[in-house]
Amino acid sequence: MGSQGLGITFLTLPLVVRAAAGGQWCYDSQDPKCGPSHWKELKATCGGDKQSPVNIDRRRLQRDSGLGDILFEGYDQAPPGKWRLANNGHTVVLSLASELASEHITISGGGLPSRYRALQLHFHWGSPAGNGSEHTLDGHQLPMELHIVHINVKYRTLAEAKGHPNGLAVLGFFFQVSETPNANYNTIVAGLRNVSQAGDSVDLASTFRLSTLLPHAGQLSGYYRYQGSLTTPDCSEVVVWTVFEEPVEIGREQLRAFVSTLHFPAAGPTLLKMTNNFRPPQPLRSRKIFASRAATASGGSPCRGCHQLISPLLLLASLGPFSPTP
C-alpha cells in the first residue's frame, strides 16, 4: 500500500542531529566513540545518581500499597487532528500533541504526584542478533520497549518541566514476540517505510485510541515505579517512571520492520540500519523500586517474553529483507 492508501503526507524535516559528529551523542551501533558510555562527557547529568534505565530485580522490590490503578483519561478516544510519525535520527517518534496543546490525553492517580498529559511516544529495539529493551527484568532484556512521555500539567513547556523533579512521567511497556501480527500496530508499522531516513516524517490522516497500543485495561494494575531520568542526553533526572509488568504482543514481521526499515543519520555514503538504539541499565545506587499492589514481587512468576531473548530475532535474520505487505 502506498502513502496515498495510508492517508499520510510525506514530509522531509531538516536533520536536527548528526551521529558521530563533534559534540553529538549516538549509540554504540553507530559509533562507540559517542555511545552511552561517553554521554556524561557531553552532558554531566548523564553521570548522575538517578539515571535510567535500570534493571528491575523483583527479588528486591518494595511493595507500596498506595500504588493502585492509574487513571488513563483520553486514552480511549481518538482525538481530532493529525499525529506525526518521524525518524529523529535516534528512534521513531509519534508526536501526540504540541507542548502547548490542550490537555486531552492524561494520566493521574496510581501514586503519581500530579496529573500529566501525553506528549509523544517512541520505541527502543535491538538487532537481528539480540533484543533491545532499555529496562531489564530480573536481568533479562526483552525484544523491544515502548515509552509514552507525559509532561506535568503544572508546566507549559518541556524546558520548564525539566526544571522540576517530577516534571515528566514516562510509561514503559515491554514487548514479546507473537506468531500473529498485532493489528493495533498496523498503522505505525506501515508508516515506517516513509520515515526510513533520519529527518523523514509523515502525518497520519487520522488518529487512533492510544489504549489499543497497550495491554488490556485489566492487565495494567501490575507495574513498577521509581524516580529516574530521560534515557537520552541531556539525561535530565526529572522522570517518574512507571514500567508495566504485562508485555505488549507484537508480530515477528512487525518487529522485523523496526529492525530492518529505519536508518541512523548517514555519516558517509553507506546507510546504517537503526539497530540497538537502547541505553544499558544504569546503577540504581540508593534508589528503591516500588511494586504496585497487583505487581509480581519477591521473585514471583517468570517474566513473560524473557525466554525470547535471542531466538525470535535470529529467526528474523533468516527470513531475508523486509518487504511491507502491499
Phi, psi for 98 (deg, rounded to 5):
-80, 165
Helix (H) or strand (E) holding 72: strand 70-73
Q: Which residue has the cell 534505565?
A: 53
How far is residue 40's CA from residue 93's CA, in Å, rounded to a whole number?
24
Residues 27, 75, 90, 116: which is the catalytic one? 90
Cα angle 204-121-302, degrees, rounded to a multiple of 5: 130
What is each CA distance from 67 to 56, 70, 112, 138, 225, in whole angstroms?
17, 8, 8, 21, 8
How far is residue 253's CA from residue 255's CA, in Å, rounded to a whole number?
5
In contact, 214 and 185? CB cutoff 8 Å: no
Residues 116, 155, 185, 223: which is the catalytic one? 155
How far is residue 178's CA from residue 308's CA, in Å, rounded to a whole number?
10
How far is residue 293's CA from residue 26's CA, in Å, rounded to a whole number?
38
150 flagged as catalytic? no
Look up residue 121 and give its amino acid: L
In contact, 132 and 278? CB cutoff 8 Å: yes
The three grid cell numbers given for residue 265, joined into one nine-digit string: 543519520
Look up residue 54 and give its amino acid: V
Query: H helices then E strands: how many in the chain?
Result: 6, 16
C-alpha 255 chain-centroid distance = 14
Q: Which of 320, 21, 322, 304 is nearest to 143 (CA)?
A: 304
263 flagged as catalytic? no
In contact, 145 and 242? CB cutoff 8 Å: no
Q: Give catalytic residue positions.
A: 90, 155
